[in-house]
Structure formats: structure tokens, C-alpha cells
Amino acid sequence: MNNQPLVAPSVLSADFGDIAAAIDRIEASQADMVHLDVMDGHFVPNITFGPKMVADIRKRTKLPLDVHLMVDNPESHVDAFIDAGADYITFHLEAVTHAHRLIQRIRDAKVKAGISLVPSTPASAISELLEDLDLVLVMTVNPGFGGQKLIPGCLRKVTQIKTMFEGASPILLSVDGGINRDTVRAAVSAGANLLVSGSAFFRAEDPAEEVRFLKAALSS
Ligand SMILES: O=C(CO)[C@H](O)[C@H](O)COP(=O)(O)O
């Protein structure tokens, strides 16, 4: 069985003036998903794009769209991203009071639901949600900007979450921030099976080779 991790390039590091070329680059690289970072300038200090961008990208690719909402009040926005064609919607536990209710809303719409944790939130914060999640995204940098260095301590949390989910349905355990050739082995060894890659992917001369390298982290 192929137990290589999946790779989701993050368009945060793409040229927003030529987003079609970025999506074509992701498709040609044999990556598994497109990671879309939605930032509101409140939950994180940066601002990116909204549901129209996701809908436009939806028309360009059949790859799964992994939408990561780094926004306050995600409950006010999920319907627009469901309508835009998201396959996964991940919101931040730190941004909501009723996480379980929002997960149910997303899943009732036949969209996969994910929770993300910033570096300072412990793994135990999701212990009551184990049966309800399709994806957990561990931020391995403080969210808001691409090109930061991975915070090594965040990988302990990946292992703790992997352990918590043993015996429950398999989930995607995603790491986001600072994933590159130097850090990928530690991230996959810790238990990550979905690698978000922004700057490393978009800076690579050969994006297909970059994806192959990330996927082969434990076999090289
Ligand atoms: O969510 C993000 C930042 O908040 C990005 O997806 C993440 O930082 C990926 O970029 P890089 O690989 O350059 O670190």
C-alpha cells in the first residue's frame, strides 16, 4: 500500500496576478490538492482572497480544493465557500465557540470538515471532536505569511494528535508552514500525511521534482 504523504501546494506563494498559471503549475506537478489560504486581516494580520477566487479556481481544476479559513467568525463565511466548490473547509478552533456545530454544518453540505490549531493551542483542545473531523491542520508557523521557519515544537503536537486518533477513523493530518526539503522528513516522521508547501513549491525550478521529493521523505 502506498503510504506516502499527500502534497498540497499553497497558492499563497503564487503570483496572484497570474493565478491560472499557478493552478496549471500545481496540476502539472502531480500534487494532490490545491491549498487555499483565506485571510481576513483580523484573525491574522494579512489579507488574501475570498470565495470568488475559490470559485474561479474551481473552474480551472478538478483537483480537490483544500480551503483554510484564517478568519474570525468563520460561521459567517462557510456557506459562501461551500457554494464556491471547496472540497475541504478547515477553520480555526481559536476563532469559534461552537466548533462542533460548525463541523456538522460543513459535513451536512457534503464537504469535508477540518480544524486548524495555531502553535500555542494544545492538541488536547480537539479531544472532544475526534469522531467528527476529516482533517486536522497543525500550523507549524504562526499563521499569516508564507516563507517562515517551521517551529520544531509544533511537530510534537502532530505526534500527539496522531496518537489521539489511533482507533478512530483515519483522518488527514496536515502540517502547514515551513515545509521544505530540510523539514519534511521530521514532519512525516511525526505523523503528518498531508504536506502544505507554499514558498518551497513555488520557488522550485522543477515543481514535479519538488513534489516527488516531499512524497519520498521517508524512503530516501
Ligand atoms: O498558511 C500559511 C501561512 O499562514 C501558508 O499556507 C504556509 O505558510 C505555507 O507557506 P510556506 O510553505 O512558505 O511556509
ipTM value: 0.96
pTM: 0.97
Which pLDDT tens digits describe the chain residue by residue (220 residues)? 368 999 999 999 999 999 999 999 999 999 999 999 999 999 999 999 999 999 999 999 999 999 999 999 999 999 999 999 999 999 999 999 999 999 999 999 999 999 999 999 999 999 999 899 999 999 999 999 999 999 999 999 999 999 999 988 889 999 999 999 999 999 999 999 999 999 999 999 999 999 999 999 888 6
Contact 74, 173 (CB under 8 A): no
206 by Cβ neighbours in 10 Å (0-12 / 13-18 / 19+) ranks as exposed
pLDDT of residue 1: 38
**Does the C-beta of 141 come closer than 6 Å to ligand 1?**
yes
E runs forming strands in 5-153: 6-9, 34-39, 65-70, 88-92, 112-117, 135-139
First to last CA, the chain: 17
The predicted structure's pLDDT at residue 141: 98
Where in the sequence numbering do the catalytic residues fall? Answer: 37, 176
Domains of the chain, CATH where assigned: 6-215 (3.20.20.70)
- Among protein residues, the one with the nearest Cα to ligand 1's atom 7 is 177
Which of 138, 196, 213 is the pocket-test mutation for ligand 1 (most atoms within 8 Å of CB)?
A: 196
C-alpha distances out from residue 20 to 34, 65, 84, Å: 12, 14, 17
Which residue ranges are tagged as binding site for substrate?
Answer: 10, 68, 144-147, 176-178, 198-199
pLDDT value at residue 220: 60
Atom of ligand 1 nearest to the CA of 179: 12
